[in-house]
């Protein structure tokens, strides 16, 4: 969770002017990925080495409620490869980036609660 919080710090900023929005979106994806993996570890669940959030979501325990933000986080997988290939993406509006940040924050908040509840 420490690493997920660190990534969220980059997402939230402030950042230097040369930092691309796509780079911050990459870190938002990393927040979600690390949170999903922390929850899986807290439950003792084995999972594949992947950056695909949809694939990781399928390993989360069924008893965990699927909040809309958790489901929405799977769309962040695209940013796992966006930073090295920025020409494939249109610039994000402030509103679009705000949604990416909101999802990352919600996933982190939920994961912290689950991991703490599991004694992690």
Domains of the chain: 2-117 (1.20.120.330)
Of 54, 79, 78, give the one whose Cα is nearest residue 66. Answer: 54
The tokens describing 29, both together, are 């994806």
Distance of alpha carbon 42 from alpha carbon 111, whole angstroms: 10
The pLDDT profile of the chain, 120 residues, written as one tens digit per residue, is: 999 999 999 999 999 999 988 889 999 999 999 999 999 999 999 999 999 999 999 999 989 988 899 999 999 999 987 656 656 667 788 999 999 999 999 999 999 999 999 987
pTM of the predicted structure, to 2 decimals: 0.92
Distance of alpha carbon 63 from alpha carbon 78, whole angstroms: 27
């Amino acid at each position: 969770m420490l690493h997920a919080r660190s990534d969220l710090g980059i997402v939230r900023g402030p950042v230097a002017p040369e930092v691309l929005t796509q780079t911050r979106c990459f870190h938002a994806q990393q927040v979600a990925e690390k949170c999903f993996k922390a929850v899986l570890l807290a439950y003792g669940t084995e999972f594949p080495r992947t950056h695909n959030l949809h694939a990781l979501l399928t390993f989360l325990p069924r008893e965990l409620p699927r909040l809309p933000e958790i489901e929405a986080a799977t769309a962040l997988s695209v940013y796992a490869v966006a930073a090295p290939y920025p020409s494939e993406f249109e610039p994000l509006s402030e509103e679009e980036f705000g949604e990416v940040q909101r999802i990352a924050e919600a996933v982190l908040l939920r994961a912290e609660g689950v991991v703490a509840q599991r004694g992690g």
